[in-house]
Structure 1
């Protein structure tokens, strides 16, 4: 690269004699947790084709590049493994589902004998994010778990959950 000097003798642009350039093609998009920005951001999944350039003009193909994820906010490129990290929205859904599952597990262990455990479990599930949960729905789910003995390996021993 040859620096081009301006009037005040500062490098203003660099002229690239020989180099490589990647032409990116979008193949998908979505939302992910950006490690650079530190938050949930939109992304584009890109694949690229490298080319050898001479004076900025593409001359020879140099192959393809693996898929990358480009953050829409900061523009950084990351490997596709960053898509494995859950977003804040996904964490919230996991928490809601976890509260619901634990409440069902407690009720399935013998908590449906009286109304008080059902009311407490229903209040916990509502506080966890499922606003339309009722005691009758929880009782029906526990009864369905108790009736579903075909999925348990070995001898059926009542209601069970696999977490």
Structure 2
């Protein structure tokens, strides 16, 4: 007994439209179908009118698509805009480091306990080579930056304009 797909495969198709795909690129992406980091192929296609399986006439080009190598599902190219889990975890590490710097810049680095706690938080996020001296130096450099801040931006007032820009750059991609 054949499956329904097998029975359909045996039926002759008198006429139809067939797409011939050409691979134009590849890489890694987060597959919405599989739910994980997978390899992909970027494809462009040409549609053809077929009669008895023989291509007779061109029917135009298709837009580019992204095909998952694991599940073979096809997605629009904007699926490549979503970060992979590896990239997302590095973005979270950078965000923890930047938020820690902002908290230290706003609250001060005079206490050794505060610096030890900040280093512990940054190390727990995955930056194992972070030291108290590095955090202290970066906070002092950011505090010395007295660039033009605006009174309308409370973040720039609390931690300085350079750190406010850095916070915006790091946290904006993580926001929905």
Q: TM-score range by the shorter chain?
A: 0.7 to 0.9
Distance in 2 (alpha carbons) for counterparts of 1:52 and 1:76: 23
Contact 1:70 1:77 in 2 (8 A): yes
Q: TM-score, normalised by structure 2?
A: 0.78
**Distance in 2, Cα, partners of 1:99 & 1:11:** 54
- Quote the offset at 1:123 in angstroms: 1.0
Q: Does 1:142 align with 2:139?
A: yes
Cα RMSD for the two superposed structures: 2.0
Partner of 2:22: 25
Scaled by the length of structure 1, what TM-score is found?
A: 0.84
* Structure 1 runs of 4+ with >6 Å offset: none
1:38 and 1:120 map into 2 onto residues whose CA distance is 35
Structure 2: which 5+ runs fail to align? 1-6, 168-176
Which residue of structure 2 aligns with residue 154 of structure 1? Answer: 150
Residues 11 and 34 of structure 1: CA distance in aligned 2, closer, same or farther (over 3 Å): closer
Distance 2:60 2:9 in 1: 32
Structure showing greater radius of gyration is 1
Paired residues, number: 153
- Shift, 1:154, TM fit: 3.2
- Residues 48, 67 of structure 1: 8 Å contact kept: yes
What are the superposed Cα offsets for residues 3-59 of structure 1, whole Å, 9 maximum, x if unpaired?
A: xxxxxxx66612122111111111222222222222221111111111111221211
Structural mapping, 1:14-163, within 5 Å:
14-150=11-147, 152-154=148-150, 157=157, 159-160=159-160, 161-162=163-164, 163=167
Higher strand proportion, which one? 1
CA contact (8 A) 1:104 1:142 kept: yes
Deviates more, 1:27-36 or 1:102-111: 27-36
The SS at the match of 2:107 is coil
